[in-house]
Amino acid sequence: METASRPGLRERKKQRIRDALLRAALELFLTQGYERTTVDEITAAVDVSQRTFFRYYAGKEEAVFFTHSVAASHFVDAVRARPRDEAPLEALRQAVLQGWDGIGETIERIIPVELHLRTYQLIESTPALFATHLRRSAEVEEEIARVIAEREGLDVDTDPRPRVAVAVFGGVMRVTERLWGTGEDISVAAIHRLTVSHLDAVRPALAEKWRTDGADGASAAVN
């Protein structure tokens, strides 16, 4: 009866090492900076060999983005779960907001949410990580585009709308994240607020004239 609840000593030991490495890595990255932290320092903190680190994580980057992968697949699932009568962009909007609000339960099993949220600041301030983050986002967007296309009964290779819609949405999310990640308030409430205000700014931003409709645009101001 305990094979399901207790996965065996070997497996538990592995899990402990994986967790310890992740935590040590993130804490070192956040205190000393990503590039100034060597793998040797991480493994020294956990007291395993350098080789062991690379058996658990493909590299330093994978450690940084470990929890992000979890969050990303939750987001994709959330999009899939949206009612089919919702407009595509509305479904995406609800899915991200839902994802952010549920980030606690999603991440806390692995590391303190605080640590996860702080990785965004690390990513935004480290060019190499930021680049990887964008690439990973692009991969998620490709997946989302396929989901949207399926929802709408379209072929993602002949109709540009699914990818375009997702790209528009993703572009706005990047701006939002960046503003949030480079700011001081890394609370979930803050990202929630910024997400809403930026998504609401899409239609005004696409308007022909910006200068005359001051009321509409100014109302979407941020900060």
Residues that bind its own copies (CB under 8 A): 87-89, 127, 130-132, 134-135, 138, 152-154, 157-165, 167-172, 174-175, 178-179, 197-198, 201-211, 217-218, 220-223
Query: 172 contacts which partner out of DNA, its own copies, none, CB within 5 to 8 A by kind?
Result: its own copies
Closer by beta carbon to DNA, 131 or else 189: 131
Q: Does 4 bind DNA (CB under 7 A)?
A: no
Q: Nearer Cβ to its own copies, position 27 or 142?
A: 142
- Closer Cβ to its own copies, 2 or 208, answer by number: 208
Cα of 71 vs its chain's centroid, Å: 6
* Site membership for DNA, residue 104 (CB under 7 A): no
Let me know how long the chain is. 223
Residue 52 as a binder of DNA (CB under 7 A): the answer is yes
Nearer to its own copies, 8 or 160 (CB): 160
Q: Which two tokens stand for residue 1?
A: 């009866």
Give 199's Cβ-side CA count (13 Å radius): 22
Residue 80 as a binder of DNA (CB under 7 A): the answer is no
> Which tokens hold the place of 11?
């497996």
Separation CA 103–CA 94 (nearest Å): 14
- Our CB check for DNA shows the closer of 46 and 78 to be 46
Helices in the chain by DSSP H: which ranges? 2-5, 9-32, 39-46, 50-56, 60-64, 66-81, 88-101, 103-107, 113-125, 127-151, 161-182, 188-199, 202-206, 214-218
Residues that bind DNA (CB under 7 A): 8-11, 13-14, 17, 37-40, 47-52, 54-56, 58-61
